[in-house]
Structure 1
């Protein structure tokens, strides 16, 4: 099982690093590149740089709130 855990950890690290690199390039470097350069076709418009993280954060907070509410309202089992 340890090998599977390491593989999942490596996969999550690679995905996180690639998302971070893409977002950083999109926000920090792309505004300084000419607008007619071919690299612009690989990125969304700049407005989405704010909308996507905000919506993801709101969805995460909603999910966590629902989960915490479910755990708090779940009936407790009595010990025998």
Structure 2
């Protein structure tokens, strides 16, 4: 268990250091990111596309299984 504890501790240290670094240098690197509007638009668009593709897939599977029964 000691190795797993060390790995978790190392991972938490890296995450904490990266968050600290991000908020320290936020104003320098902020210009490299997309505008904040895209933080909502991209996941919503991806979700709608995913639901559409999933619906089409389920529809094809249902049609295919109906043809096999007939």
* Length-normalised TM-score, structure 2: 0.56
Q: What RMSD over aligned residues (CA atoms) do the two structures have, in Å? A: 2.3
Runs of 4+ off more than 2 Å: none
Q: Which structure is higher in RCO with an 8 Å CA cutoff and minimum separation 6?
A: 1
> Gapped runs of 5+ residues in structure 1?
1-24
Q: Structure 1 residue 76 and structure 2 residue 68: aligned?
A: yes
How many residues align? The count is 46
Asked which structure has the greater CA Rg, the reply is 2
Match runs of 1:42-61 below 5 Å: 42-61=32-51
Structure 2 unpaired stretches of 5+: 1-18
Q: How does 1:1-80 map to 2 (within 5 A)?
A: 33=26, 37-74=27-64, 75-76=67-68
Q: Greater helix percent: which structure?
A: 2
